[in-house]
Amino acid sequence: MLLLLLLLLRLSWSLKCRTYMMKFKPNQTRTYDGEGFKRRAACLCFKNEREDEVLLVSSSRHPDQWIVPGGGMEPEEEPCGAAVREVYEEAGVRGKLGRLLGVFEHNQDRKHRTYVYTLLVTETLEDWEDSVNIGRKRKWFKIDEAIKVLQSHKPVHAEYLHKLLNTCSPTYSPLCNPTNGNSTGSQVTDINAPHYVVCSTQGSDLVSR
């Protein structure tokens, strides 16, 4: 294991000039972009096309708190596919992926860059990966209620919803077809263009999941 870790560290050093780097953690490999930001993806999951109710899940670290489902991208994974996979694992839902709402940055301590999409829920599983493994819960909230719930302990997640309120009318198209939680293809182009970065937060903690 130690030899493998040293090998991976050397590989990460040699890949500095590439668009992302990889780091190894127990049971998971996460990716980092060329600026050292951890690459993440998340979805605002809605009950209907009016986007007036959003699905939040309980935090694995703080079960009495609610968060937006999302997590780190895997190697070679597109943001689109990562977002669909994360909501499948954490919230147990499938649906139609909508627009890229924006890319949100967290710059203190551990740096994160999160691609946030909208998703119209079409299927809700009774039991899903995180509900079985860690007892994660989910709950529908009205948008204003969700903002209040998130503002105290996850202000960057509340920013997703503030951004939602300032965007154009919702549109949903099969950017990803989440048949099993994985992406079958992405139509989002120029995904790493800097103009997608819409929010930079300084005081929130994305890693307390």
The residues carrying an active-site annotation are 89
Distance CA 123, CA 128 (A): 12
**What letter represents residue 129's amino acid?**
E
What is the helix (H) or strand (E) element at residue 155, kind and residue range? Answer: helix 155-165
DSSP at 37:
P
Cα distances (Å, whole numbers) of residue 187 to 28, 100, 168, 178: 26, 11, 19, 14
Distance CA 104, CA 83 (A): 14
User: Could you tell me whether strands 70-72 and 66-67 are parallel, antiparallel, or unpaired per DSSP bridges?
Assistant: unpaired
Torsion of CA 27, 205, 99, 44, to 10 degrees: 80
